[in-house]
Every structure is written in structure tokens, then in C-alpha cells.
Chain A
Amino acid sequence: MDIFNALMHGFALAITPANLLWCLVGCALGTAVGVLPGIGPAVAVAMLLPITAKVDVTASMIFFSGIYYGAMYGGSTTSILLNTPGETASMVTAMEGNKMAKSGRAGAALATAAIGSFVAGTIATVIVTLFAPFVAEFAVKLGPPEYFLLMLLAFTTVSAVLGKSTLRGMTALFVGLAAGCVGLDQISGQSRYTGGIPELLDGIEIVLVAVGLFAVAEVLYAVLYEGRVVEEQNKLSRVHMTARDWKRSIPAWLRGTAIGTPFGCIPAGGTEIPTFLSYAMEKKLAKNPEDKAEFGTRGAIEGVAGPEAANNATVTAALIPLLTLGIPTSNTTAILLGAFQNYGIQPGPQLFTTSAALVWALIASLYIGNVMLLVLNLPMVGFWVKLLKIPKPQLYAGILIFATVGAYGMRQSAFDLFLLYAIGLLGVLMRRFDFPTAPVVVGMILGPLAEAQLRNAMSIGEGSPMVFFQRPMSITLVVIVVAVLVLPRLARYWSGRKAAG
């Protein structure tokens, strides 16, 4: 009942005209950045972070969250119509969705993606509502050793498990950690790696790294390598699902949600695994030979419905570790954490007591936002498709103007614009040589927090690392970290041996 009352208070705060407007603008902007190539939710939120200096915290968090989950709706439109997934989350949607669009069923693919996103987003929001307070209550009992190990788990999965090459993932993570080290050490106040440059005493802004790595690097990469890439756009057909489409979609949505939600909840991030798992499951479960034959040929609707639902469920449920533990599991949640920090708020178990009004208004806005997005994405899909007509040179050059706002607006320093260019160059190299970027952002945001927890844990243990092995929860986490590192490798080794033998 407490939860219900708290949620009702949240709704009361979220439906004030100003907050509703922020939510609508966030959802619309999110859909737009999801549709547009070259710009994703992480960079959109990063570019707009300067508004945290003036806009009220509840309004801006509602706005940023709208961009965050709105982009997932928009992303499917591009991957279905263009076959160029804007982000990894829509990769699977692109596989089947594009085939459906090619065989004249773009409308049905768009409808199942949007309604599936709504169903999954709403169910996952209910789960956030019901479970986040319990996780927060439990998390209060965790001490620095457990927090450090949870962050270590996030580092391990984001760098060593999710990417293809552990070596390149680790390199990216440690580059991010190094960037996070620049500035004053938060415990002793010593300056580190500032090189006598006063601008660096405050550290490197996350906005710079996110905007540099994603937006500026994207533009530089496009001009260097992708000028001549010509994209074919599929024709948009009427957004409509037949009774048979519904019958095939509903179970796929529910299965996708069931797969996606737990993946969002654990601090192990990434939408790749749940979306691929959902796709594999739908393919396996297709019994009707006619439906089965559609996979990979004409495009099967389950192959769009399941992964899209899984994707949205993961993204929404990822708010649980963010809000209750303060652990981001993706680029965008890392930047959302940065937004909280700009207000001097550290997400974590205390958030539900110290900033209860904010948290519940944010959760209430998720329900409202999902309804808004359904309306924005179904009847108005034709409008968003028009965005795909903006020529790339103009679009990419325009992105640079917004990048300037984000980078300059944060600290009013022209030095940051030079740094932005340098980070953009680093981003081009990383993309060309297949280094993942998420570990850089997560490492940079989470690195200083993990370091503080490590040092606090060591002082609790009076200098002995045994503190990580003596407490039941911490030893469990150590085992999980080791398992996450070792099990996939063992599985690969065994399957390799099986194949050889």
C-alpha cells in the first residue's frame, strides 16, 4: 500500500503541466534521435546536460528519461525502414524487420515494434515500481566492499563479456578509468594528471567524452569513410496488424519482456544478449512451418515483436540498478547518473528516502511517457519517417552545432572545444579498430566511485584485502565476478573441443 501511495504522489507531481510538457518534449526528442542516424540517446542527453544548471531536478530527470526510452521506440523505425540499426539494441529488429519491410509489410513491423515496446515498457515499469523499493531496502545493508564488487561486476561485464574481444574491451575500460582519474582526488584532494592546466583540476566532463566519442567521432567517421554509402529506404505501408499478426505478436511480446526484464535488473548491462536470446527463442518456438519459413526470408513478425519487447524491457528495468545501487549499465544510464551528480544527488539506496518525491515522479512519468510514445509512434509514424529525408551532410554538420552547445555550455570554456575535437579523433580510431565505447563512458563515470568504495573498504578492513572474502554478500559477489569471467570461456573451450572431437 505504501508503494501505491508513493506512486500516486509521484503521479500528482508528474502530471503538473510543466512536467507533462517536459515528458512530452523528452519523448518526442527521444523518438527523433532514435530515428535519426548519427545521434543516439546517450549523446542527446549528454548534449543537453547543461540544462541541469537551471532546470529543476524532477523536470530534467523526467525529460532525460523520456529521451532515454523514447529513443528505443524511434530506433526500431530506422532499423525497419533503412536496415541501419542506430544502436546495438535494434540490430535484431533490423534483421527481421527489414525483411518484412522489403516484402511490403513495413506497417505491420512498425506496429508490432511500437505496441511491443509499449507492452514491455509498461510491464517493466510495473516491475520497477514493485521491486525497486525492495532492492533499495536490501541495498542499504551493503557496505563499501559489496559496492566495490558490484562495480567490479559492472566493469567486468561491460568490458570483458559483452564485447567481442576482451583485450580491446579492457583497453577501452582502462582508458575510461584514466579519464576519470584526471582532476582532484576526491578523498585526499591531491591533483592527478592535470599537467598544470587549471581547466583540468575539475576533471574531464562526461559531456565532453560522450559528445566527443559519439557525436564528433560519428561526423568525422562519416566524412572519412562513409561519404559514398547510399542507403535504400523501404516503402512505408499502412501501419496495421491483422488478427493473425496479433496472435503471433502477443506471446512474443510477453516472452521478450520476460527475457529482457531480468537482464536489465542485474548490473551487467547491455541489450545485445536479451535481444539475441529473444530472437533465438522465437525462431525455435515457431512451430507452424509457414511461420518458420518466414525467418530470414520474408521476415517473421515474431522476430521483430520479441526482440523489440526484450529491448524495451531491459532498458526500463536498467533503472532499478541505476536508482537503487547507483550503478549504470549502459552509456545512457551512465550519463543519467552524471545528470543526478550535477544536482549533487548520488543515486543509491538512500535515494528512495532522501529524494522520494523525485524518484516516484520519475517512475510515474515512465507510465505516462510510454502512453505518449505509443501515440507519437503509431499514428504519427509518417512524420518521423520524413526525418530520414534530411540529407546526411546537413544533418551531420547540424549535429556539430548541438555538440558545441553541450560541450561549451557545461563550463563555458573554449579549451573544452579543443578537447572535444581530440576526443572525437580518439572515437574515430576506436571505431575503425573495433574498440567498444561503452566501457570508456562507464569506466569514467563509475571509476571514481569504485575507487572511493575500494579505499573505504580497505580502511574498514584496516588494510587487509580479506575484507572482500569475509562477508557473505561480498564473497558471493567475488564468486559471481569470477564465474562471469571464467564460464563463457570454459563454455567456448568445451564447444570447441566438442566440435574438434
Chain B
Amino acid sequence: MTTSHSLAHEPSDLAAQDTAAVWPQTLVGAGVLLTGLALAFGAISISSEAGYGGVGPNFLPWLISIVLTVCGGWIIWEARSGGFRELDTPSGATRAYWPGFVWVSAGLLLNAALITTIGFIFSCTLCYLLAVQGLRRASGQPSGAVRTWGLDIVTGLLISAPVFWMFTQFLAINLPGLTATGWL
């Protein structure tokens, strides 16, 4: 949905949109509020030793938790009283495309879980493969065919392997390999 579409909305549509935004916005506020409270809970266990005028190691944590709690409350109030103020219409579609999100998330999480076991090259190729499948589906590109899978695996390898070699061989940065050779 582009801005030009939303400009064309009837007033009743706009009102409906605002109502639809109340809950997500309230949840965001609640998230901030809970973060503030959780940080306050954590701040209790930080001592105030070595501080002048009450400004010790626990001063900033308390300040942060109080401000975030207040901001959270304020955000909830804004959400419930007409929505966020000065809000830019977010870019892109109004509805999220969740299947694509699952593909990309799977890629990222499997990469995190497997990188030390199967090495950087294969783990990143897997991440690339899953992410590109999700992104292809999101943009309506062909995705399921064997040829596409093959092409994506090769592309993933062609990016990850040189990146691995460049960083491990030339820049001496430790990245996990499947073998100890520094090449795979």
C-alpha cells in the first residue's frame, strides 16, 4: 500500500485503520513498560557503593527503568487516546507476509545453531538458501523448483566461501570451519 492509496481513503476507513492500530500500539507501550519494570527489578540487586551524592553504579539503571516505565505508560495512553502522535505511515504493505518471515527466521536461527558444527561456509549457505527462498516467495518470484534450489545453493556457496577465505586468510579473523585447514 502506498501513501497515495491511504490518501484516497474515506474518513470512515481511516477511523477503522486507527482502531486497528490501537491494540498493536498498546502492546508496544506495554512492552516498553514491562522492560522498564524488569530493569527496575534488576536495579534492586545493584548496590550504590562508591557513589557521590547518590550517583553510584545503580543510579543510571534506576534512571533508565523509571524513564522507560513512564514512557511505556505514556505510549499506552497515546495508543488509547487516538493513536501515536506524529506517526509516519510505515512503508510497504499493510499486512505482513508471515510465511516469508518464517523462512528467513529459520535461516538465521539455524545459522546460529549450526555455525560451530558445520562451519561458516555451509552454515551461511544454508542461511542464504532459506532466506532467499522466503524473500523470493514474498516478492512473487519462482521459488519451489529444483532448479531454483540448485541455483540458490550455488549462489550461497559462491558468496560464503570467498567471504570465509577473505576474512580468515587475509584478515586473520577467526571464523569457524568444518575442518582446521582454514579453507573449509
Contact = CB atoms under 8 A, between A and B. Distances in A.
Interface of A: 50-51, 53-55, 164-165, 167-168, 170-171, 174-175, 177-178, 181, 185, 187-188, 190, 192-193, 195, 216, 219-229, 391-394, 396-398, 400-402, 404-405, 408-409, 412, 414, 417-418, 420-421, 424, 429, 431-434, 447, 451, 454-455, 458-459, 461-465
A178 B88 contact: no
Contacts of A429: 28, 31
B96 A224 contact: yes
B15 interface: no
Contacts of B131: 219, 223, 396-397, 400
Contact of B71 (A174, A181, A424): A174
B127 A401 contact: yes
B140 interface: yes
B180 interface: no
Nearest to B50: A188
B55 A454 contact: yes
A228 B92 CA distance: 8
Contacts of B136: 393
B96 A225 contact: yes
User: What is the interface of chain B mostly: helix, strand, loop, or mixed?
Assistant: helix
A417 B53 contact: no
Interface string B43-67: 0001101111111110111001001
Contacts of A409: 167, 173-175
A314 B36 CA distance: 35
A408 B171 contact: no
A171 B127 contact: no
A409 B42 CA distance: 30
Contacts of A402: 163
Nearest to B121: A401
Given A165-B85, A168-B84, A455 B91 contact: no
25 contacts: A54-B172, A165-B86, A167-B74, A171-B68, A171-B71, A171-B72, A174-B67, A174-B68, A188-B56, A220-B105, A222-B135, A223-B103, A225-B92, A393-B136, A397-B127, A397-B131, A401-B127, A409-B175, A414-B112, A417-B112, A420-B108, A421-B108, A432-B90, A462-B53, A463-B55
B54 to A, nearest CB: 8
A42 B140 CA distance: 30
B92 A229 contact: yes
Contacts of A405: 163, 167, 173, 175
A227 B97 contact: yes
B138 A227 contact: yes
B101 A192 contact: no
A393 B75 contact: no
A225 B120 CA distance: 29
Nearest to B164: A405
